[in-house]
Structure 1
Amino acid sequence: MTKRAFNFNAGPAALPLEVLQKAQEEFVDFEGAGMSIMEMSHRSSIFEKVNNESQALLTELFQIPNNYKVLFLQGGASTQFAMIPMNLLTPGKVGAYVMTGSWADKALKEAKLIGETAIAGSSEADKFNRIPSLSDIQIPDNAAYLHFTSNETIEGTQYKEFPNAGDVTLISDMSSDILSRPVDISKFGLIYAGAQKNLGPSGVTIVIAREDLVSESPKTIPTMLRYDTHVKNNSLYNTPPSFAIYLVGQMLQWVRSKGGVAAVEQYNRDKTNLIYDLIDGSGGFYRGFADPSSRSTMNITFRIHSEELEKLFVKESEAQGFVGLKGHRSVGGLRASTYNAVPLESCKALAEFMADFQKRNG
C-alpha cells in the first residue's frame, strides 16, 4: 500500500486502517455467503445479524439503558432537523434551541418551518467562538424539548458539560463527537448523529431515543418520517444502507478493541493537546478561534495573521500529504478535524509541520 494520507477531513472523515482492511477482506464474500453484503437481501438472516449486532455493540459501548431504542436511519443529521419537530413539537408547545453556530442554526431553521420555536441561549454576540454558559440558558415554560449541538464542527467549539433541562426532554445533535467520550444517556430523550465523522461512513444516521418518545408518532406525518415506523421495524422498514451499517459495526468493534469509550476519550485528548499546545506556544503566530473554555477535541480551528500565509500553509501541507486543513468556506481560516480514527501519529506530524512552517515564516 502507498503511504496513507494525514487525513484531517471534517467529514466524511478518517476510518481506521484495520477497519478498512477487514472490510476489504470481506467485501466479495461475506461470511461464506458467496456474495458481498452489498448484494444480499436486508431481510436475510445474515444481514439481520449484522444489524442486531451493531445495535448491541453501540448499546454496550455507550451504556445505553434498556428503555432506549437504537435506530439506523438515512438522510443524515439534516433530515433529523425536521423529523424531531415533526414528531415531538406538538401544538401549544415550543421547540427550544441553543444557538452555538452553523449546525445549531440549521436545526433551528428547519424547526421554524414546522412549529413555534425559541432561542434558549446563544453565543452569536461572540461570533460563536464559545459555548453559552449553562446558567444563561433559559428554557420556556411550554418547551417540548431543549435542543443543542454538542460539538460545532465549523467553529470548533464543544460542550464540556451538558445543559440540565429538568423535566423538559433534552435532545442533542452529536454528529461530530458521538462516542468520543462517555455520556449519561439517561439525561437525554434523544441523541442523533451522522456516522461519517466518528462512527463509520456516510449514508447512515444513528438515533438513540427513549422508547416513550418514539413509540407513537403523530398520524399526520409521512410514513418514512415517523420514528415509530422505524422502531416497529427494527430499522428495516425499507432497504437500509446495509454496507454503511456493517461498517458502523466494524468501527464499534474497533472502539471496543481500543479499550472502550473512556480510553478513546483519553486518546483524543492526547492527540489534540499536541496541536493546541503548539498554537498556545506560538507567540501569536497561530491563533485559536475557539475560547479555551469551549475548545473542541474533535475540530481544532485556528488562524494565521495573514490570509496569504494561510493559503501557503494549505498549499505546503497538501504537498506533504496532509488533507482537509482548509477551514470551512463560511468562516475561512484553518481546521484540523481529529476524530476518533485519526491516529496520534498524524497529529504529531501536523504539530511538527506547524512548528516548521512558523520557523520559516514567522
Structure 2
Amino acid sequence: MTTYVWDYLPEYENEREDILGAVEKVFSSGRLVLAESVKGFEEEFAAYHGVGTCVGVDNGTNAIKLALQALGVGPGDEVVTVSNTAAPTVVAIDGAGATPVFVDVNEDDFLIDTDQVEAAVTSRTKCLLPVHLYGQCVDLAPLRALADRHGLALLEDCAQAHGARQHGRLAGTTGDAAAYSFYPTKVLGAYGDGGAVLTSRPEVGTALRKLRYYGMEKTYYTVQTPAHNSRLDEVQAEILRRKLTRLDAYTAARREVARRYAEGLGDTGLVLPKVNEGNEHVYYVYVVRHPRRDEIIERLKAHDISLNISYPWPVHTMSGFAHLGYRQGSLPVTEKLAGEIFSLPMYPSLPAGLQDKVIAAIREVLT
C-alpha cells in the first residue's frame, strides 16, 4: 500500500456521521444557495479570528482576486509578492488585471524577505501580498508599517495558515484583508472547493459581497459593477462550520506529527522546518530540504512512499509568466530552494505506524 503526502479517508472515517449530517441538513433545508449555512460559517469564521467581516467565495484563487478588486487593485497596478508559492497566488493577481512583482525569500524559513520589499515598491505599487507559506506566518510588522507609510493595501494570503499565530495574533488579522482557501488538503479543508475573505473594513466587505454575485447588491437586482459568480456552496459551508469547531484539534495533531518527524529525522542531514520566534506553525505541509532531493524521492518509491514538491517550479520561471521578464537567477534563493525542497506526509489523522515507516525509509535512504 502506497503512502502519500495526504489522505483524507482516515479523517472521513472518524467524522463520517458529522459530514453526512451536514449534507442532510442542507439538502433538507429548502434553500441551497447563499442561505443559512454560508451565513453561519461567515459569522463563525469571523468570530474565530475576532474580525468584523467574512465573505465566503467559491475557491481560494478567487478569494485573492476578489479581495484585490475590493481593495481597489486593477489594471496598471503592481502587487508585490513572492515566486515561491502556489501558482494561484499569482494567477489571482493576473486575474485582477494587475502585475505581480516578485521579491526573494529567506533561505531558512522560505518566507518573503521583508528587507527586500521596499526596494520593489514603485509609483504603480498598490498592494503588498505576503504568503504565509506552509503554515507559518510572515513577519507582518515591517510590511504593515511599509504599507501605511506608502498608502498601500496589505493583503494576507492565508491559504496555508488557518489557525497559525504570531506573538499570539492569528494569521489574517493584521492586513486590510486576508484570503483563505478551503481546498480539501488545507488545514481547514472542505470536501470540495471553497474560499473566504476576512476584512475589518466594512466597505471592503460590501464590495466583496457584490463581486461574488455578478456585481449585484441583492439577488437578481441591478448590476452595479459587472462581476462573476463566485459563491461559497451551502454544503461546503455547513461542512466547514462543523470542522471549524475542530480546527484547534487539527493543528495540535499536525504539531504532534511535526514533533515526531523532528525526533526521528533530526540527525539525518535533512534540513527540517524552522519555526521563527513567536510563531505557532500549523504545518500545512512538512517541507524539508536536501541537495539529493530527487534521488531521495526516487529511492523512496521502492518503499511505496510517494512524496511531492511544494513547489518544484517557481512561478517566475513558468512559461505563462514569461512576459514579466524574469530570468534564471533573478531570485537566487527561491531558485535554489526549488531544487532541494520536498514534502513529507502531513495530515492530522496520519497513522503513527505510517509515519514510522516514512522515517525509517528516509533514514535508510540517507545512510
Q: TM-score, normalised by structure 2?
A: 0.67
Residue 132 of structure 1 corresponds to 112
Change (3 A) 1:338 1:112: same
Q: How far has the Cα of 1:308 moved from its partner?
A: 4.4
Report the secondary structure of 1:159's partner residue. coil
- Distance (whole Å) between structure 2 residues aligned to residue 78 and residue 185 of structure 1: 16
Task: Find the partner of 1:97 among 72, 80, 87.
Answer: 80
Aligned-partner Cα distance in 1 for 2:98–2:65: 13
Distance verdict in 2 for CA 1:132–1:326, change over 3 Å: closer
Aligned residue in 2 for 1:335: 343
Paired with 1:355 and 1:223, the residues of 2 have a C-alpha distance of 45
Of 166, 171, 174 in structure 1, the residue corresponding to residue 155 of structure 2 is 171
Tell me, which stretches of 5 or more residues in structure 2 are unaligned? 222-228, 314-337
Query: Please, which of 232, 243, 246 is the counterpart of residue 235 of structure 2?
Result: 243
| Residue in structure 1 matching 2:197, options 200, 207, 228 | 207
The question of whether the paired residues in 2 share the 8 Å contact of 1:97 and 1:108 is answered with: no
Q: 2:271 touches 2:289 (CA, 8 Å); kept in 1? A: yes
Structure 1 residue 303: deviation in Å?
A: 5.2
- Alpha-carbon distance in 1 for matches of 2:362, 2:100: 45
Aligned to 1:161: 139
SS at match of 1:149: coil
The alignment of Structure 1 onto Structure 2 pairs a total of residues equal to 313
Asked if the contact 1:92/1:142 (under 8 Å) is kept, the reply is no
In the TM superposition, residue 350 of structure 1 has moved relative to its aligned partner by: 4.9
State the shift of 1:186 in Å.
Answer: 4.6
SS of residue paired to 1:171? strand
Shift of 1:205: 0.9
Kindly indicate whether residue 180 of structure 2 is the aligned counterpart of residue 193 of structure 1.
yes
Mapped contact 1:298–1:337 kept (Cα < 8 A): no
Does the 8 Å CA contact 1:145/1:168 hold for their aligned counterparts?
yes
Q: 1:317 to 1:309 in 2, by over 3 A?
A: same
- Note closer, same or farther for the CA distance 1:296–1:133 as it changes in structure 2 (3 Å cut): farther
Matched AA of 1:123: V
Change over 3 Å in CA distance of 1:212–1:334 after alignment to 2: same
1:106-145 alignment to 2 at 5 Å?
106-112=88-94, 114-117=96-99, 119=101, 121-123=103-105, 130-138=110-118, 139-140=121-122, 143-145=125-127
Q: Secondary structure at the match of 1:312?
A: helix
| Contact 2:77–2:98, Cα closer than 8 Å, also in 1 | yes
In the alignment, is the contact (CA less than 8 A) between 2:65 and 2:92 conserved in 1?
yes
The Cα of 1:40 is off from its aligned counterpart by: 4.7
- What amino acid maps onto 1:336 in structure 2? L
In the alignment, residue 78 of structure 2 is paired with which amino acid? G
Contact 2:153 2:176 in 1 (8 A): yes
Q: Distance in 2 between matches of 1:228 and 1:188?
A: 25
Cα pair 2:112 2:138 within 8 Å, conserved: no
Structure 1 pair 338–356 and aligned structure 2 pair: CA distance change class (3 A): closer
* Distance verdict in 2 for CA 1:170–1:49, change over 3 Å: same
- Alignment correspondent of 1:261: none
One-letter identity of the residue aligned with 1:247: I
Residue identity matched to 1:78: T
- Of 5, 8, 11 in structure 2, the residue corresponding to residue 8 of structure 1 is 5
Structure 1 counterpart SS, 2:170: coil
Q: Distance in 2 between matches of 1:43 and 1:243?
A: 8
Counterpart amino acid of residue 132 in structure 1: I
Decide which of 37, 44, 50 is 1:63's aligned counterpart.
50
Query: CA 1:240–1:136 in 2, change beyond 3 Å: closer, same or farther?
Result: closer
Judged with a 3 Å threshold, the aligned counterparts in structure 2 of structure 1 residues 52 and 281 are, in CA distance, closer, same or farther, namely same
Q: Give the aligned partner of residue 356 of structure 2.
A: 352
Query: 1:246 is matched by which residue type in structure 2?
Result: E
SS at match of 1:297: coil
Equivalent residue for 1:34? none
**Alpha-carbon distance in structure 2 between the residues aligned to 1:185 and 1:81:** 12
| 1:102 counterpart SS class | coil
Paired position in structure 2 for 1:271: 257
Give me the TM-score of the superposition, normalised by structure 1.
0.68
| Distance of 2:264 and 2:18 partners within structure 1 | 35
Q: CA deviation at 1:250?
A: 0.8
Cα pair 1:95 1:118 within 8 Å, conserved: yes
SS in 1 for 2:247: helix
How far is 1:212 from its partner? 2.0
Contact 1:176 1:198 in 2 (8 A): yes
Please report how far the alpha carbon of residue 244 of structure 1 lies from its aligned counterpart in structure 2 after TM superposition: 0.7
Q: Deviations over 1:46-101 (max 9, x none)?
A: x833333322321232222xxx3211111x22223433444434579733322141
The 8 Å contact of residues 112 and 130 in structure 2, kept in 1 or not, is answered as no
Distance 2:161 2:15 in 1: 19
Q: Percent identity, aligned pairs only?
A: 7
- Tell me the C-alpha RMSD between the 2 structures: 4.2
Structure 2 equivalent of residue 316 of structure 1: 303
Amino acid at match of 2:157: D
Q: Which residue of 2 aligns with 1:48?
A: 35
